[in-house]
Structure formats: C-alpha cells, structure tokens
Chain A
Amino acid sequence: METNKENIIRKIVQGKSLSLSEQTWWEANLGRLEIQEQLKLVQGLQKALALENEDLLKQQLQSWDKESTASVPRKLGRTRSLPRIVLVAASLALLLVSLFWVFQKQNPDLIAQYFEPYPSILDPVLKGENQTTSREMTAMQAYQNKDYVQALKYFEGLEKSNDTLSFYRANTLLALGQYPQAQSAFTSLGDHQNRFQKEARWFEALSLLGMERSSDAKAKLLVLSGEAAHPYQHEAEEILRKME
C-alpha cells in the first residue's frame, strides 16, 4: 500500500491520470494531514531535483564548450600556398564525399543488422478486433509470409485508425525501404497511447537512419537507450556505439 500511495501522489504531482480505484482512494484520503504533507514533500522534491539536475547539466554543457574550444587548433599564420576559397571548396567536397560514403555504407548496414519486421501476431489481432475482415487477414498473412509487396497492397485499403494494422503497415513500409512513409507512420504511432507506442519509437529511429537523418536518429536512440524498461534499450545502446 505504501508504494501505491506514493505512486498515486507521484501521478498527481506529475499531472498523470489516475485509474478509477486510485481516484477513489485519492478523494477519500486527500484531506488527511499525512497525505498533504507527503504531497508537499513530493512537490518540493520534484522542483528541487529539477533545479539541481538543471545545474548539473548546465555545468556539463559548459565544460563541453570549453573542451571543444580548447581542442580547436590555434592558427599560427595564413596559409600561403592556396587561396582560402579553394581550401574551403576542397574541404567541403571531401566532406560531402565522405558523408555520402559513410551514409551509403553505414546506415543501410545498420538497418540490415537491426531491422527485423515485428513478429506477426495474427491471432491476437483477430482476437482484439471485433470486425476483422478477410482483407485484414490477407494483409497479415502476406506480412507473415514476408511478402511485403502484397501485404502493403492489402494494408493500403484498410482502416487507418486501427493502431495494430497501422503498426504492421509501417513495418511493411520499412521492410520495403520506403523510409519517409514508414517514419511518418511510426511517428504518429509513437505520439499517442497504444500497445505498440514504445516499439514504434524504435522503428521510427531506424526509419530516420534510412532517411540519412543520422542526428535525428541518434537523438531518438539516445532517449530509448536511457529508458531502462524499453524493449529495444540494448539495441539502441549498441547501435549508438556503432555510430560513434
């Protein structure tokens, strides 16, 4: 009960919604002095921890700024041999070529290594939906058989508001290398509460890799790698290490 009580107070402070039984408990106990004191403590802790952590991060950012400034070599004099514009153009060309090569090579490699279409849950899909049509069955069957071209054809004609079907459709798009469409679908699934919300955020990161948006992919992976209970936490950590 102790933990339940704390959880309810935490939810209240964080503005999260309560279940019916939690709401009932909260209304019955709200007036108790002990509960009010605990509420005050949790509110104070949140504020104080937020500021304490902001300060620590700010110090960390400042030290990175110092490091990065110190690591830039000082200019001893002008380079005489080539005009500056030629050097800049050459560096840019070199950078573009290397980026092209790195993206061409690294991102598809990583996707190939880490992307595995989410296992088909044909039966639960059917169990969960009251009016499963034969078209849904056919789409899922094709997905299960890894016939993604056919699967997409059937998924396209289906109800877009069904999160389960949308998730498998997005996986199909990713399997077919249609990264922007996959990313958009996964972003939408990651935006609201549904059974695949967490998984969608992982696949969204893979789609961003496919789109060569490495910085954005890294940012997403960074968040996943910090979530201890995320089903793809280890994979996110691994992929980030490989991208370094």
Chain B
Amino acid sequence: MSDDLQSDSQLKELYLSYKKDFLNSTARYNLDSESRTDIYQDAFIALYQAVKKNVDIKKDIKNYLFGIGRHMIFDRIKKQKEERQLQADLVASGQEYTIPEDPALNIWEECLRKAIGQMSPSCRKILTLFYYRGYSIEAIMHSMNLRNENVTKSQKSRCLRQLKEMVKNADA
C-alpha cells in the first residue's frame, strides 16, 4: 500500500499527530500502552482504507479515527474477558487452552497472497491499483507514468498471468 503513496511524509505526520492524543484519551481503559498503540495502528489502517474507498466520513477525520479505535478497544477487552473465562473453564475441566486462529483466508487465497508478496513492486502496484483500489486503466497510466493505455493494459495482463502461474506452480 505504501509503495504507491504520493507522499509518505504527510501520512506519517497525520499518523503521529493524533497518536499521543489517542493514547492519552484511552489510558483509562484496562489495556497497556503497547496494546493501545497496536489498536491505534489498526484504526489508522481502517481509516486509510475507508478514505481510499471514498467511504462517507460524516464527521471529521479525528472523530472517525477515534471512534474506530474505541470500538476496537471494546472488542479487545471483551475478547480478553471471554478468553480468560474460557481459559478458567478449561483449566477447571482439565483441558488445554489454545487461542483460535483467525480464518481470514482460505488455502487458495493464502497461496495468492504469498505469490503477491513475491511479485515485483511494479506488478504489486498495478494489481493493487486495479483490483483493490478500483482505479481505471487511464488513472493507473497517470499514476504510474506509463506511456499509454495499451502499455498499461498489457502490463496489467502480464502481471496477472504471472500471478496465476505462481499460484498454479505452488499448487502443483
């Protein structure tokens, strides 16, 4: 995501400018500062994605960011309580306790993700812009300074073909 940002320095400034305020305003919750920082990062990522997808942010950016962050804090506290309760129940019943894994991606999607991670930065970027951000071919051409729309289209097709090959080879 960050390799195609127009300006990392502005994003960094925005990220750091609200961080201290967020950590201070959430200090009363029963979470250490490391966990709150982790949540702030996740909330910032959620905000970034919302803004990039033109999600309607009715209030200002800070309200939106802090609102997401607070929800995430409540979720984490709730999860911790549930996990502690589950752990206590399991200990009482003599069973072992393991934290369940997050089943976000199936095996094929995980394969796809691994292959994306192995691609060249330009291929990752063009696929991200087209499939994730929803850019048009013309917008990608401008964003990546490509010669014309045909070049952009063929580069995108080449990258997609390469990705399919990588996934196929990983399957075999």
* A interface residue numbers (CB < 8 A to B): 3, 10, 14, 16, 41-42, 44-54, 56-58, 60-62, 64-65, 68, 191, 213, 215-216, 218-223, 225-229, 237, 240-241, 244
CB distance from A229 to the nearest CB of B (A): 4
- Residues B27-80 near A (CB distance < 8 A): 37, 41-42, 44-45, 48-49, 51-52, 56, 58, 60-62
CB closest residue in chain B, given A192: B56
Contact size range, B:
35 or more
Q: Is B2 in the interface zone, CB < 8 Å from A?
A: yes
Q: Please, how many angstroms separate the alpha-carbon atoms of A188 and B172 in the complex?
A: 53
A241→B51 CA distance, assembly (Å): 20
When distances are taken between beta carbons in the complex, the residues of chain A under 8 Å from B15 are 61, 64
A108 to chain B minimum Cβ distance, whole angstroms, is 21
CB-nearest residue of chain B to A63: B12
What are 6 inter-chain pairs, A to B, with CB distance below 8 A? Answer: A41-B164, A47-B105, A219-B61, A222-B6, A229-B136, A244-B10
* Chain B residues within CB distance 8 Å of chain A: 1-3, 5-19, 37, 41-42, 44-45, 48-49, 51-52, 56, 58, 60-62, 104-105, 108-110, 112-113, 116-117, 124, 127-128, 130-132, 134-140, 142-143, 153, 163-164
Are the CB atoms of A64 and B12 closer together than 8 Å? yes
Interface of B, helix, strand, loop or mixed by DSSP: helix
Bound-state CA distance A65–B16 (Å) is: 8
Question: Which of chain B's residues has its CB closest to A13's CB?
Answer: B131
Min CB–CB distance A199 → chain B (angstroms):
15
Query: Do A49 and B10 contact each other (CB < 8 Å), given the known contacts A57-B1, A215-B61, A219-B51?
Result: no
Closest 3 CB pairs of A and B: A53-B1, A48-B113, A228-B143
Contact A48 B143 (CB under 8 A): no
Are A14 and B113 within 8 A (Cβ)? no
Q: Is the CB of A49 within 8 A of B153?
A: no
User: Bound state CA distance, A241 and B164, in angstroms?
Assistant: 40
